[in-house]
Amino acid sequence: MRITKLDIVPWLTVVVLLMTACPAIAQDNAKRLVALLDYLGSDYKNAVQDGKILSQDEYGEMQEFAKRSLDLFTQLKEVDKADKAGVESSLKSLASQVDSKADPKVIAELAKTAKDKLIAVYNIVPYPRRLPSFASGKKIYDENCAQCHGVSGKGDGPGRESMNPKTPPRYRRHGDGVVRRAE
């Protein structure tokens, strides 16, 4: 059997496509990881204060996001064949600190450090490249969020009563750093 150039072209095409797909996969995973770290770093304070859980639902979510960040990092490392951004130890420490109910400032700092490294190494633009449309954002919110969060975002939507788990108690952070139940 004689192999011709036409026989090789499909295989070369597949190889080229795979080579160009790997950086795109890494970029996508890095972006997702940055978004998770941003949320973890900013929302953890609503789950834990002074080593005590304020909301079990929020805390469970933070644990899940810390685990998910490690999973995303593992996928990223497999594609890149290395820890290009040097964030592995920070992510492991972050997950451990979340599990031990660390101070929110510690979590915020660990998340920010890892996030900043990922943004720099993967050239991620952490904000929209163009101003989003208010009308399309409102449409997305109305279709996907208002059912539970309500039209004004106060958690008073018609689907609130059927939520499982139930809506967590609302807390407000005051200027003195104390978290109090909102009235």
Q: Each residue of 106-154: pLDDT tens digit?
A: 999 999 999 999 999 999 988 877 888 899 889 988 888 888 888 888 7
Mean pLDDT over residues 67-84, rounded?
A: 92
Position 147 scores a pLDDT of 87
Q: Each residue of 118-130: pLDDT tens digit?
A: 999 999 988 877 8
- Integer Rg of the chain from CA: 22
Both 93 and 156 in one domain: the answer is no
- Do residues 159 and 146 touch, judged by C-beta distance below 8 A? no
Both 87 and 144 in one domain: the answer is no
Both 108 and 141 in one domain: the answer is no
Q: Is the pLDDT of residue 167 over 90?
A: no
Domain of 159, in residue numbers: 131-165
Residue 19 — pLDDT band, cuts 50, 70, 90?
very low
13 belongs to a structural domain: yes
85 belongs to a structural domain: yes
58 belongs to a structural domain: yes
Both 55 and 140 in one domain: the answer is no
Both 34 and 109 in one domain: the answer is yes
Both 112 and 157 in one domain: the answer is no
Q: Each residue of 62-74: pLDDT tens digit?
A: 999 999 999 999 9
Both 52 and 94 in one domain: the answer is yes
103 belongs to a structural domain: yes
